[in-house]
């Protein structure tokens, strides 16, 4: 959530940045925020003045009662009651204005960093790095949704029977490969100084608002209506919310966490050519890295996190590319995002497997996540996170890229984790 003081102080700059994001009503929305904030301030000032006057009258009443001047004291009591009644009305108005201001700010996405390219959609994303060669497959090579049937390692039909579309069963070597990758990703992150946590996969509403999934992604999360809980779309949400309403000591920065969770998303869509098999699921496994960092150092951390994810892909021997997302393709809460895509040889397409983002103060402002500066005043921290990695499309690429007439080769780095080097 943008800070109101920043919106006021940098009005034209903020509007320009939001228009770069293709937010067409940016000017009217920002102007309305300032109008409501002006009215809120005026109401607060008036209420403060009335309360101050009421306090003074209360003191006079006490003095008059002591001196025996009861008639004058009663008159002032009536005036004091009128002021308190007016203050009550103003307080209700103030609460309403604060709620309206909050709801307006919830509609405003983060402003993109100056290094984010302009553009309306994914076609304007910039490829900033490519690594590896696209493999040449043998005749008769299959897409992963055929390979999983051939080797009986992932079962969509069984998942559809038990749960529904987008909830596959992993079986035999498919389940062991899944577990191997989770352990490999966690071990690698711990080596890089990330503290492992195992967070809940259910969050409350405050946590959803804290990291920006609510209200923006309300319809995309699974909602447990009776308790008003949500299934997490990513481990970013519970891990970052560990620090809601926290003031962090500067010498504790950066805070680095890694966590594995299943993730739940409703937007999986239909079984079409572009979303077949593991390309998009309702439930999938992901290892997430999260950092809380000093504002002066967060973009260095973003670069380090990107390089770390790239290192994982290289260890898995997968060809990949890095995209600097354009403003129109940024997530609602992000100031800058780099996507990592692996090439799926059988599908002849790039598949996004990781997004690494810097949210600057956007989440921290909602979370009230702060540090105390040299002047002893509290200031907002920066939050970052990244997929390291999401499993389904990695598995799809491994199956497709590493297939041979004899079976599917397991990347060497995973063999100590799987206990086998071929699926056949």
40 is in an annotated binding site: no
Stated length of the chain: 424
Q: Residues 6 or more apart from 390 whose CB is under 8 A from it?
A: 263, 284, 285, 286, 353, 354
Q: Taking phi first (over 0 means left), then psi (-120 to 50 degrees means alpha), and beta for anything else, what does residue 81 get?
A: alpha
288 is in an annotated binding site: yes
Report in angstroms the alpha-carbon separations of 424 from 103, 153, 172, 375: 55, 10, 11, 64
265 is in an annotated binding site: yes
Helical (H) or strand (E) element with 147:
helix 144-150
5 is in an annotated binding site: no
267 is in an annotated binding site: yes
Helix (H, G, I), strand (E, B) or coil at 324: strand
Angstrom distance (rounded) from CA 333 to CA 367? 13
Number of neighbouring beta carbons within 10 Å of residue 411: 21
**Are 322 and 129 in contact, with CB atoms under 8 Å apart?**
yes
- Angle, in degrees to the nearest 10, between helices 26-66 and 11-20: 140
Q: Which of 301, 342, 304 minimizes the C-alpha distance to 323?
A: 342
Environment class of 373 (CB within 10 Å of its CB; exposed 0-12, middle 13-18, buried 19+)? exposed
Angstrom distance (rounded) from CA 115 to CA 330? 13
8 is in an annotated binding site: no
E strand spans, 102-218: 126-131, 154-155, 169-170, 195-196, 202-204
266 is in an annotated binding site: yes
354 is in an annotated binding site: yes
Angstrom distance (rounded) from CA 112 to CA 359? 9
Report in angstroms the alpha-carbon separations of 409 from 126, 194, 414: 32, 30, 10
Angstrom distance (rounded) from CA 148 to CA 108? 43
Q: Is the dihedral of CA 55, 57, 59, 65 positive or negative?
A: negative
**Are 161 and 147 in contact, with CB atoms under 8 Å apart?**
no
Q: Which of 256, 218, 6 minimizes the C-alpha distance to 110?
A: 6
Alpha helices by DSSP H, listed for 151-270, are 156-162, 173-191, 205-210, 236-240
- Annotated binding site, which residues? 234, 265-267, 288, 352-355, 385
- Annotated binding site for ATP, which residues? 265-267, 352-355
- Annotated binding site for L-serine, which residues? 234, 265, 288, 385
């Amino acid at each position: 959530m943008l800070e109101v003081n920043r919106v006021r102080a940098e009005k034209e700059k903020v509007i320009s940045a939001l228009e770069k994001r293709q937010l067409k009503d940016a000017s009217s929305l920002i102007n309305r925020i300032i109008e409501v904030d002006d009215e809120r301030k005026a109401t607060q000032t008036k209420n403060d003045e009335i309360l101050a006057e009421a306090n003074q009258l209360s003191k006079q009443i006490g003095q008059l009662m002591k001196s025996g001047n009861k008639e004058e004291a009663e008159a002032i009591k009536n005036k004091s009651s009128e002021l308190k009644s007016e203050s009550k009305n103003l307080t209700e108005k103030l609460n309403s204005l604060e709620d309206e201001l909050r709801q307006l700010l919830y509609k405003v996405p983060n402003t993109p960093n100056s290094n984010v390219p302009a553009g309306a959609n994914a076609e304007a994303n910039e490829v900033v790095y490519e690594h590896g060669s696209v493999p040449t497959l043998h005749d008769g090579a299959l897409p992963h949704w055929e390979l999983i049937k051939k080797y009986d390692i992932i079962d969509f039909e069984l998942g559809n029977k038990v749960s529904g579309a987008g909830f596959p069963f992993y079986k035999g070597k498919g389940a062991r490969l899944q577990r191997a990758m989770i352990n490999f990703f966690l071990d690698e992150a711990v080596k890089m100084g990330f503290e492992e946590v195992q967070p809940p996969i259910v969050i409350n509403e405050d946590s959803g608002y804290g990291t920006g999934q609510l209200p923006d992604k309300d319809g995309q999360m699974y909602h447990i209506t009776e308790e008003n809980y949500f299934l997490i779309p990513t481990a970013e949400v519970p891990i970052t919310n560990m620090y809601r309403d926290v003031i962090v000591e500067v010498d504790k920065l950066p805070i680095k966490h890694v966590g594995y969770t299943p993730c739940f998303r409703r937007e999986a869509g239909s079984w079409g050519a572009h979303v077949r098999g593991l390309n998009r699921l309702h439930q999938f496994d992901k290892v997430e890295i999260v950092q809380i960092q000093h504002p002066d150092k967060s973009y260095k951390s973003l670069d380090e996190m990107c390089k770390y994810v790239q290192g994982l892909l290289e260890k898995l021997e997968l060809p990949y590319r890095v995209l600097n997302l354009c403003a129109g393709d940024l997530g609602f809460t992000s100031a800058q995002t780099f996507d990592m895509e692996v090439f799926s040889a059988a599908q002849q397409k790039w598949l996004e497997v990781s997004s690494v983002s810097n949210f600057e103060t956007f989440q921290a402002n909602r979370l009230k996540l702060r540090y105390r500066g040299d002047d002893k005043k509290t200031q907002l921290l920066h939050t970052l996170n990244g997929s390291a990695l999401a499993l389904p499309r990695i598995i799809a690429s491994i199956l497709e890229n590493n297939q041979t007439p004899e079976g599917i080769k397991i990347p060497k780095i995973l063999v100590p984790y799987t206990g086998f080097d071929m699926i056949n």
